[in-house]
Amino acid sequence: MSKRYDKRVEARLEESRIKVQRMMDRAMGMYIEQEGKKGDTWRDQSYGQLFSHMRHEVEEIKRSSNRTFQLHNCLDNAILSILLACKVEEETLRSK
């Protein structure tokens, strides 16, 4: 592999990391804003409720042509996925 290729690949990877971090930060901001209003209710949802909510968000993304609305639903779905991961981790740690 040439050094020029390595530099381009590294630059692209860094750009992707920055984009992912920016969206994660936006999702966290939305979570903080919404959960302050809702009293952290998403955290208490069952697996089935989380899956259903995630499916709903995906359907909203597919149905809409409004990019702002799609972005909002993508970020909601990202938070729901993270909450699901938290639930799995909590239950795994509890079972040890």
10-69 pLDDT, tens digit per residue, is 999 999 999 999 999 999 999 998 888 888 787 788 999 999 999 999 999 999 999 999
Q: Cβ(19)–Cβ(70) under 8 Å?
A: no
pLDDT of 1 strictly over 60: no
For 84, the domain range is 3-94
Q: What is the residue-wise DSSP string for 3-69?
A: HHHHHHHHHHHHHHHHHHHHHHHHHHHHHHHHHHHHTS-GGG--HHHHHHHHHHHHHHHHH---HHH
pTM score over 0.85: no
Task: Provide long-range contacts, Cβ within 8 A and 24+ apart, for 86-93.
Answer: 86/43, 87/43, 87/47, 87/50
pLDDT band at 2 (very low <50, low <70, confident <90, very high): low
Number of domains in the chain: 1
